[in-house]
């Protein structure tokens, strides 16, 4: 994880301390469950909770010798707990601890990401309502099409991140399972009730069938969900980058006091946040392919997934958390220039109304093909800078034979384009 794209809350999930703490809880809860089964003396289970502690440096030291992290951890805990420690990990295998821990970490990471999206949704909704009727040109292919409103852009983003939230909720559900099933998942040495007990205590579902490990299709689906959310971040970031282009300048990232845009060009105000988000989206997405490749482990398990997850686990969650927070604050502070939106809207001399004219002509009985040709000819004159669209239409007998001046003028009214904005808002935000 890259320090500058890291926030403490998410990063804290991934520290050695946090990981070992979860390991300890899993082991201690398991010991509790085994008391009921007569495997662990009640005193020992109590001692584990009471004297249970570990030392990160000591664990590292032991691991360098035994080359096995869970054994190193258990040895360190045993040094604090004393002889009762031998009752820990009874019939369990390392993966029972490691995989359940990863499930806890990813589920908690998902919780933070869902909170992040919630915060983003609040901002997007506010900006949507604020600019519900701030008209600007809609663009397809980067070319002026017909008017939309800035609020609609925000509503679209809101709807998209609502879907992203649902995907994160589903991903969290997929990943939040507990496996304490022993060496090859048969519960030969550990009763299924231990798994049930620990799962409940850790806020997880049980893994119906594990094979030493929790199956990695769950993790693949998890990281794929993150990749889709990251792609939605990229989409909104690219929108802002476009709007801030010098020639467009309909919106601008807030420029903080003291900030310098360019070491060489003092006049520059660059959309560096949204560009940064574009890059972060690529980074987060890059976790998906190795997560897919992790699924086909050999037989009951191989450990090839482990190094991958040591990377993508923290990286993808930390960077996505940062990106969502940055996007939220960027959208919150985004400076909107309605006057520039109007200026851009007027730029094409009215040809953005060409479809309405086309439709009006066909309604009057002109064939679709003829209407298209008539409108296109007049639009092209405007395109070449020869004048205004309405003027050309009024002067074209092929048009005026079907439409009066008054009818033509009415076709150039912007309200026409915003009449269903409220309908869309109700679909997206529900009834106010």
Q: Strand 205-206 and strand 143-149: pairing? A: unpaired
**Two tokens at 246?**
């010098």
Please indicate whether residue 94 is annotated as part of the active site. no
Give the residue carrying structure tokens 């691991």: 63
User: One of 29, 89, 141, 354 is an active-site residue; which one?
Assistant: 141
H helical segments located in 334-353: 338-346
347, 387, 401, 404: which one contacts a copy of itself (CB under 8 A)? 347
Among residue numbers 96 through 135, which ones bind a copy of itself (CB under 8 A)? none
Q: In angstroms, rounded to a whole number, what is the distance separating the alpha carbons of residues 301 and 96?
A: 12
21, 36, 125, 138: which one contacts a copy of itself (CB under 8 A)? 138
18, 35, 119, 145: which one contacts a copy of itself (CB under 8 A)? 145
Under the binding rule (CB under 8 A), the answer on residue 80 touching a copy of itself is no
Under the binding rule (CB under 8 A), the answer on residue 408 touching a copy of itself is no
3-class SS of residue 251: strand
Among residue numbers 233 through 262, which ones bind a copy of itself (CB under 8 A)? 234-235, 237-239, 241-242, 244-248, 256, 258-262
Q: In angstroms, rounded to a whole number, what is the distance separating the alpha carbons of residues 329 and 315?
A: 21
Among residue numbers 162 through 191, which ones bind a copy of itself (CB under 8 A)? 163-164, 167, 170, 174, 182-189, 191
Helix (H) / strand (E) element for 147: namely strand 143-149
C-beta of 275 vs 407, nearer to a copy of itself: 275
- The separation between CA 295 and the C-alpha centre of its own chain, rounded to angstroms, equals 22
Give the residue carrying structure tokens 């509790």: 32
C-beta of 263 vs 406, nearer to a copy of itself: 263
Q: Are 132 and 421 in contact (CB under 8 A)?
A: yes
| Nearest alpha-carbon partner for 161 in 116, 218, 111 | 116
Under the binding rule (CB under 8 A), the answer on residue 384 touching a copy of itself is no
Nearest approach, Cβ of 112 to a copy of itself (angstroms)?
20
Query: 90 CB contacts (<8 Å, ≥6 apart)?
Result: 30, 31, 34, 39, 40, 189, 190
Q: In angstroms, rounded to a whole number, what is the distance separating the alpha carbons of residues 155 and 288?
A: 28
18, 56, 289, 388: which one contacts a copy of itself (CB under 8 A)? 289
Nearest approach, Cβ of 92 to a copy of itself (angstroms)?
7
Q: Strand 205-206 and strand 177-178: pairing? A: parallel
Q: In angstroms, rounded to a whole number, what is the distance separating the alpha carbons of residues 75 and 64?
A: 13
Please indicate whether residue 231 is annotated as part of the active site. no
Stretch that binds a copy of itself, among 26-34, 45-53, 294-302, 393-401 (CB under 8 A): 294-302
Helix (H) / strand (E) element for 252: namely strand 251-252
User: One of 193, 231, 262, 305 is an active-site residue; which one?
Assistant: 262
Among residue numbers 190 through 219, which ones bind a copy of itself (CB under 8 A)? 191-192, 206, 208-212, 215-218
Stretch that binds a copy of itself, among 24-32, 116-124, 292-300, 399-407 (CB under 8 A): 292-300
Q: Which active-site residues does the annotation give? A: 141, 262
């Amino acid at each position: 994880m890259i320090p500058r794209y890291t926030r403490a809350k998410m990063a804290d999930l991934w520290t050695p301390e946090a990981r070992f703490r979860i390991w300890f809880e899993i082991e201690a809860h398991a010991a509790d469950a085994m008391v009921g089964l007569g495997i662990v003396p009640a005193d020992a289970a109590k001692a584990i909770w009471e004297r249970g502690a570990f030392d990160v440096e000591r664990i590292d030291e032991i691991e360098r010798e035994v080359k096995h992290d869970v054994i190193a951890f258990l040895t360190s805990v045993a040094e604090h707990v004393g002889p009762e420690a031998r009752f820990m990990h009874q019939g369990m295998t390392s993966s029972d601890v490691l995989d359940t821990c990863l499930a806890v970490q990813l589920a908690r990471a998902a919780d933070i990401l869902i909170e992040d999206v919630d915060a983003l949704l609040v901002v997007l909704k506010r900006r949507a309502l604020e600019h519900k009727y701030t008209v600007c040109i809609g663009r397809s292919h980067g070319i002026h099409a017909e008017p939309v409103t800035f609020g609609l852009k925000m509503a679209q983003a809101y709807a998209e991140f609502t879907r992203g939230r649902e995907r994160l909720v589903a991903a969290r559900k997929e990943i939040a399972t507990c496996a304490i099933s022993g060496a090859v998942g048969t519960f030969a040495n550990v009763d299924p009730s231990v798994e049930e007990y620990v799962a409940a205590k850790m806020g997880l579902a049980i893994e119906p069938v594990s094979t030493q490990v929790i199956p990695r299709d769950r993790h693949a689906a998890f990281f794929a969900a993150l990749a889709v959310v990251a792609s939605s971040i990229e989409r909104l970031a690219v929108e802002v980058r476009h709007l801030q282009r010098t020639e467009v300048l309909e919106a601008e990232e807030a420029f903080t006091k003291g900030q310098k845009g360019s070491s060489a060009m003092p006049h520059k105000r660059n959309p560096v946040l949204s560009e940064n988000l574009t890059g972060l989206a690529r980074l987060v997405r890059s976790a998906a392919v190795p997560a897919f490749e992790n699924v086909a482990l050999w037989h009951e398990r191989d450990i090839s997934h482990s190094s991958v997850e040591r990377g993508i686990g923290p990286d993808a969650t930390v960077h996505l958390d940062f990106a969502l927070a940055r996007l939220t604050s960027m959208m919150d502070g985004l400076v909107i220039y309605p006057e520039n939106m109007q200026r851009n809207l007027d730029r094409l001399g009215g040809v953005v109304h060409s479809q309405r004219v086309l439709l009006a002509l066909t309604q009057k009985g002109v064939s679709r093909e003829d209407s298209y040709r008539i409108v296109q000819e007049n639009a092209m004159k405007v395109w070449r800078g020869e004048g205004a669209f309405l003027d050309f239409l009024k002067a074209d007998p092929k048009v005026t034979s079907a439409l009066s001046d008054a009818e033509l003028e009415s076709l150039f009214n912007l309200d026409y384009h915003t009449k269903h904005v409220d309908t869309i808002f109700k679909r997206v935000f529900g009834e106010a």
